[in-house]
A and B are shown apart, each in its own frame.
Chain A
Amino acid sequence: MPTITYIDHDGTERPIEAKNGETVMETAIKNSVPGIDADCGGACACATCHVYVDEAFMDKVGQPEEMEQSMLDFAENVQANSRLSCQIQISDELDGLRVKTPESQH
C-alpha cells in the first residue's frame, strides 16, 4: 500500500497508508487530516480539498483536467503546484507522495 504524507500548514507531518484507487482527498478525510473539507465528497463541485503537491511528484500526479483547473483558478492562495485532492487517484506510482494542506479552505 502506498504511503502518502500530509503536511499541515504548521509543518506537522502525517504519513498515512493509503488504498490504491481511493483519492488523496478520501484518504485524508478518513484519517481526519485537518485542513481538507471536501464538502461535495469528491464530485469536483466545491473546491474545498485544495492541496499543494510536492514538486518532486508533479510529473507523476499529472496535470489537472479542465474542470479542476477552472475550479482552482478561483481557490484562495493558488500556486503552480495546487491541486484538488479529490482528483488525484492513488496508485503504487504515488508511493511516498507528499502534499501540503492549507490552514483553511475558505
Chain B
Amino acid sequence: MDLSTAKSIVVIGGGQAGAQAVQSLRQFGYEGEITLVGDEAALPYQRPPLSKAYMKGELAEDRLYFKPSAWYEDNKVETLLSQCVEKIDRANRQVLLQHGGHLDYDAVIIATGSRPRPLPVEGADLENVFELRGLSDVEHIQPKMIPGHKLVIVGAGYIGLEAAAVARQLGLEVTVLEMEQRALARVTSPVISSFYEALHMEHGVDVRCGARLGSLKGKDGKLTHAVLASGEEIEADMVLAGIGILPNIELAQDAGLPCKNGIIVDEDARTSDPRIFAAGDCTVRPLAHYARTGRLESVHNAIEQGKLAAAAIMGKPRPALDCPWFWSDQYDIKLQIAGLSQGYDEIVVRGDIKAKKFAAFYKKNGRLIAVDAINSPPEFIASKRLIMSGATVASETLEDTSISMKEIAAAAA
C-alpha cells in the first residue's frame, strides 16, 4: 500500500522508537500531520542512562532528551503528553484517546514499548518498593539512595546489576536476589555470569543466586524486610524490582492485530494491517541474520524499526539492517554485545578475564553468531561485521590475541 501521500500519521508511544519514527518521517520528506501520543509527562528521552549515569547523578536531566521542545514545534510535530490511547478503531481509521476525543489517521505507528513485570509477591505494594523504567521512577528512587541504607534488588539482569553498581558507588548496602542459579542467566553464558557475580562481590554486593523472593514485609505500610522463600529475612530500606518486562501489546491485540508475546511485524515493521506499523520493545520481528523471529529489547531495535516504519510509509528503500547490539555500564566495566547468542554450540574466550578485558565469542556450526566484549571495543565492532557477513572464523584464530581483530575481520572479508 502506498502511504507516501498520507496526510495524518499518529505515533503511539513517546520512547526511543516513537521518537525515531517521528524524526525519520520528517527526514524522509513527510509533510503531513504527525501526532505523537505519549503516556509519560516528559518529551521523548533516553532510557539507558536511567540505570547508569543519570541515576548516579552524573548526567543532567536536560541531557536525556533526544530533542529540545523547540524541535517539535519547528517540525510541526504535535505532542500529546500524559495521554493514553484507548483504542485503535481500524474500521473508521481513528485513534481514540482515553481522555476523550480522537485522531483520524492514514497510518499509525505503535511504539508502546514495555512495562516492568510486577513482583508477584505479597507486599509488592509497600512503600519503598520500586521498579525502574521511566524518569518518574528515578525521581522516586533517587532521594532514597542514602549512604548506608539497605537496598535489595530482585533480579540479576542488566537493569538490576546496573542499579546495584550505582547504589554501591553511592554507598548503599546492596543485596541482589536471583532465583536462577546464576546472574544474567537468561541473556548470556556462564562465563559472563561468573565474571559479573565476581565483579559485584568484589565491590561489596551480596549476590545471592538461587534465591527466590517469598514476600515483602513491612510495618505501617512501609517496607522493612525482604523474605526469601526459604524463610530467611533480609532487612531492607528499599527494594528495586528488575525481573524483566512485558511488552505493551494490548492496544494491538484489541484491534485484532496478530500478537505472540509481541506485536507481529514484517521486515518493514508493518503489522497485518498495511496502515499500521509497530516498532521497538513491543514487537516480534524477523531477525535478519538469524533466520527466525524474536523480540528485542534494545536501543538498536527501537531505532532500526522506527526508521523501517518511516521508510516503508514514505516508499523509501529499506534502510540497511544492523546486527543487534546492546551495551551495559557497571562500575568501570563497559560490556558491548553484538548479535544474539541463543543456541550457541561453542564459546571462545579471547583476552584476560582477570584483567577485566576479554571477549566471549559464541559460535554455531562454526559461524560466529554473537560476542560479549568486556572493555574490548575492537572485539565488539569487528564481530558486528563478522556476524553480518556470516563468517566462519577458526576458534584458534579468535583466541590468539597476537592477531588483531582488524586482521581477523580483514581476513574473513
- A and B interact physically: yes
* A54 interface contact, C-beta 8 A: no
For the A-B complex, the count of residue pairs with Cβ-Cβ distances under 8 Å equals 51
Known: A29-B66, A67-B377. A74 touches B300 (CB 8 A): no
* A56 interface contact, C-beta 8 A: no
Known: A26-B63, A45-B327. A74 touches B381 (CB 8 A): yes
B405 contacts which chain A residues (CB < 8 A)? 74
* B67 interface contact, C-beta 8 A: yes
Are B71 and A74 neighbours in the complex by a CB distance under 8 Å? no
Are A74 and B378 neighbours in the complex by a CB distance under 8 Å? yes
Interface residues on B, range: 20 to 34
Are A46 and B325 neighbours in the complex by a CB distance under 8 Å? yes
Are B68 and A43 neighbours in the complex by a CB distance under 8 Å? no
The contact string, 1 if C-beta is below 8 Å from chain A, for chain B 353-396, is 00000000000000000000001011001100100000000000
Nearest-neighbour CB distance to chain A for B380, whole angstroms, equals: 8
* A71 interface contact, C-beta 8 A: yes
Q: Which residue of B lies closest to A37 (CB)?
A: B303
Q: Which residue of A lies closest to B52 (CB)?
A: A43
Task: Give A43 to B328 CA distance when docked, in angstroms.
Answer: 9
B118 contacts which chain A residues (CB < 8 A)? none
Are B327 and A40 neighbours in the complex by a CB distance under 8 Å? yes
**Could you say which of A40, A47, A70 contacts B299, with CB atoms under 8 Å apart?**
A40
B329 contacts which chain A residues (CB < 8 A)? 43
Nearest-neighbour CB distance to chain B for A39, whole angstroms, equals: 5
Are A41 and B48 neighbours in the complex by a CB distance under 8 Å? yes
Q: Interface residues of B: mostly helix, strand, loop or mixed?
A: helix
**Could you say which of B300, B334, B375, B381 contacts A47, with CB atoms under 8 Å apart?**
B381
Nearest-neighbour CB distance to chain A for B160, whole angstroms, equals: 19
Nearest-neighbour CB distance to chain A for B355, whole angstroms, equals: 13
The contact string, 1 if C-beta is below 8 Å from chain B, for chain A 27-47, is 001101000000111011111
Are B377 and A22 neighbours in the complex by a CB distance under 8 Å? no
Task: Give A43 to B334 CA distance when docked, in angstroms.
Answer: 9
Known: A43-B327, A71-B377. A30 touches B67 (CB 8 A): yes
Find residues 2-59 in chain A having any chain B CB closer than 8 Å to their own CB.
22, 26, 29-30, 32, 39-41, 43-47
Known: A74-B378, A74-B382. A41 touches B406 (CB 8 A): no
Q: Which residue of A lies closest to B336 (CB)?
A: A45
Task: Give A100 to B135 CA distance when docked, in angstroms.
Answer: 34
* B83 interface contact, C-beta 8 A: no
* A106 interface contact, C-beta 8 A: yes
**Which of B303, B334, B381, B385 has the largest number of chain A CB atoms within 10 A?**
B381
Known: A30-B71, A46-B325. A41 touches B378 (CB 8 A): no
**Which of B327, B377, B382 has the largest number of chain A CB atoms within 10 A?**
B377
**Could you say which of B46, B334, B406 contacts A73, with CB atoms under 8 Å apart?**
B406
Q: Which residue of A lies closest to B23 (CB)?
A: A32
A106 contacts which chain B residues (CB < 8 A)? 320, 322
* B218 interface contact, C-beta 8 A: no
* B134 interface contact, C-beta 8 A: no
* B351 interface contact, C-beta 8 A: no
| B contact residues vs A (CB 8 Å cutoff) | 46, 48-49, 63, 66-68, 71, 299-300, 303, 320, 322, 325, 327, 329, 334, 336, 375, 377-378, 381-382, 385, 405-406, 409
19 interchain pairs, CB-CB under 8 A: A26-B63, A29-B67, A32-B67, A32-B71, A39-B303, A41-B299, A43-B48, A43-B327, A44-B334, A45-B334, A67-B375, A70-B381, A71-B377, A71-B381, A73-B406, A74-B381, A74-B385, A74-B409, A106-B320
Which 6 pairs between the two chains have the least Cβ-Cβ distance?
Answer: A74-B381, A45-B327, A70-B377, A41-B46, A70-B378, A71-B377
